[in-house]
Amino acid sequence: MGRGILAGMLACALGCGVVLADSAPVKPAMQAYDQITVLRDQADALVDPKHPDPAKLKQAEIVLQKALREMDQPVIDGLAEGNVYLRYRRYNVLYDLVHLYLLQARRARALDTIDALLAIDSSPGEWLRDPSISGPLSDEPRYKAILAQQDSADRLWHAKSIAVPYSPQLSEAQRIAGLSLFWSEAKYNFVHFDHVPQLDWDQTYLDFLPQVITAKDTRAYYEVLMRLAPLLRDGHTNIYPPEALQDKFYARPPMRTELVDGKVLVTRVFSPTLVKQGIHVGDEILAIDGIEAHRYAHERVAPFESSSTPQDADVRAFSYGLLSGDKTQPLHLSLRDAAGATRELVVLRGDYSDVQSPVAFAFRMLPGDIAYLALDHFESDASVKAFEQHLPQIMNARGLILDVRYNGGGSSNYGLEVLSHLSNQPIPTEVSRELQIDPVDRARGYPRLEWRKLPDSGEPYLKKHASIFGGPVAVLIGPRTFSAAEDFTVSFDAMKRGLLVGMATGGSTGQPLQFDLPGGGKARICVKRDSYPDGREFIGKGITPDIVAAPTVADIRAGRDPVLERAVAALRKSPSMASPSHGGKS
């Protein structure tokens, strides 16, 4: 009864950057939460939906009503105001009661309880249409009215009449509506307008209006629309073209490029076909399609790339987006090798059958008994599994290097799980705020922007382990360290657990509000503002390393990694490196 709804809410909490601690110090709010959980479990044990026993259903109702009375106590009610999990426990208990009443054929009581549920959270919920609810209530006028009300809210927030499916041609009204939808969502929800104080968002709307009106087709429409989001200068605020047009915008050859010492270099090649064609690591790209490489990046790529900082902008213009484009249009590259010889090549953007992806979560032991692990992403628990897979070697190492230079983010919880193996103390987490706009204040002539701290934001994370790694640690960072990887970096830095080595991070994290656009496109707007636990800002700046290190052109061509070398050197100087083992009891 209701177990799925709780799991769904907790999953949402994780996705929104709220951190769950498996073994955190028990606080009064969580003690109350556990108390209510015990009562829910007792009631659940009495209910068999396939073979309901009237006597046991009545007992279960008594237990759940007791849980509600417990939560009505002033002390617990007050604790719930500051704890989202305890607050939603009432929701869970009421949800259980809805099913209980329906099993007893008490439809009026079930509908009263649904009203109580929606008074707590009126957001549209698929649970209302679950057969276990819709079946018994399908002919009830009150139930139909509730569904109609839910549908109206769904229409209000999801703009389904505007976000029509893909079509090669959109009407003028649809194109204008898409522009208006993004503009309005940003105006009332974007959390970083103070980072673009010179931007007149209303004038921007007027500037784009004639452009979307004259767009000849859906592709041209998105070529216009994708220039809008970058004006907000936030890496978590973007407009993406429809899936049907992905190959018109994002196809690129399997190779990596970077801006190094002012030169546009090839830094990785993932296809033997490209190597045979004459593209090698260390080659300098002089021109693309006859346009000087820097000019090409600034004119053809940068206007379409959302970024929060100069270093983030360089990554997107010279790495992610530089060679991206129409799959059917080959690239004409002018290259110069290490010896100074130049050559011209025509390179396809797609159709490579021999792509060799780099090893994921690479682990190795470095000289001096230092363990190295690349944490490639936090999009799944693969990072945690990789760390735990190599935990025996890590526990016996003299030092540890964690590399998040190419980690573009995911869920911050995975990063915290990794960090929990490095300390038996609570781990600091970022503080999150949301924008508050009060329409009543506006009506009274006092328009202002305020940021409200989110409930439970900044709560320390603690997960106990039988032993922890107590040796010196270095974390490698760079401009591709982004989103949840920056949350990881913030926590590591606030722990005072070791050194940050490399270059400043991308300077962008938060929670994007995602929505659909006309023709199958997507958009997202950052609605959550994060900072260090002590209030220091890193959005729009990046996290600065303790030891600055960056590769040179010569390093790339020689296959050297000076960032890793500096980290190894710093760890070797640590006094604790003298200890042969750093496993410790927590």
CB 89 within 8 A of CB 5: no
| Lowest-pLDDT choice from 27-31, 309-313, 349-353, 496-500 | 27-31
Beta partners for residue 342, in sequence order:
336
Q: What is the pLDDT of residues 271-290, one digit of tens each?
A: 999 999 999 999 999 999 99
> Which string of DSSP letters, residue by residue, matches 474-500?
EEEE-TT--THHHHHHHHHHHHT-EEE
Does residue 158 surpass a pLDDT of 60?
Answer: yes
Tens-place pLDDT, residues 203-253: 999 999 999 999 999 999 999 999 999 999 999 999 999 999 999 999 999
pLDDT of 1 reads: 44
Rounded to 10 degrees, the C-alpha dihedral 222/223/228/229 comes to 70
The answer to whether 21 and 30 are in contact (CB under 8 A) is no
* The CATH number, out of the four listed (3.90.226.10, 3.40.50.300, 3.20.20.100, 3.40.50.510), of the domain defined by the range 363-585: 3.90.226.10
Tell me the percentage of the chain whose pLDDT exceeds 90.
Answer: 77
Question: Which residue do the tokens 């190894």 mark?
Answer: 568
The beta-strand segments (E) located in 342-415 are 342-347, 363-366, 370-374, 399-403
Superfamily of chain region 168-356: PDZ domain (2.30.42.10)
Q: Mean pLDDT throughout 481-498?
A: 97
Structure tokens at 467: 């032993």
Structure confidence at residue 450 (pLDDT): 82
CA 220 – CA 212 distance, rounded (Å): 8
What DSSP state is assigned to residue 76?
Answer: H
pLDDT at 169 over 80: yes
Split at pLDDT 50, 70, 90, the class of 83 is confident
The CA distance from 465 to 488, in Å, is 19
Q: What band does 428 get if pLDDT is binned at 50, 70 and 90?
A: very high
Helix (H, G, I), strand (E, B) or coil at 501: strand
53 DSSP 8-state letter: -
DSSP 317: I
pLDDT of residue 582: 57
pLDDT for res 262 = 96
pLDDT at 27: 64
Of 105-114, 124-133, 186-195, 207-216, which gets the smallest average pLDDT?
124-133
- Please state, rounded to an integer, the average pLDDT across all residues of the chain: 90
Q: 3-class DSSP state for residue 78?
A: helix
pLDDT digits (tens, 9 = 90+) for 2-21: 333 333 333 333 333 333 34
Q: What are the residues whose beta carbons fall under 8 Å from the beta carbon of 549, sequence distance 6 or more? A: 501, 502, 503, 562, 563, 565, 566, 567
Nearest to 151 by CA among 140, 137, 161, 136: 161
CB half-sphere exposure, 241, CA atoms < 13 A: 24
> Given a cut of 60, is residue 586 above it in pLDDT?
no
Asked whether the predicted pLDDT for residue 493 surpasses 70, the reply is: yes
pLDDT-above-70 percentage for the chain? 94
Q: What is the mean pLDDT of residues 514-519?
A: 96
Alpha carbon distances (Å) from 169 to 173, 174, 523: 12, 10, 19
441 — pLDDT class (breaks 50, 70, 90)? confident
Q: What three-state secondary structure class fits 297?
A: helix
* 282: nearest Cα among 206, 343, 213, 335: 335
Question: Are the CB atoms for 239 and 517 separated by under 8 Å?
Answer: yes
Gap between the Cα atoms of 14 and 416, Å rounded: 12
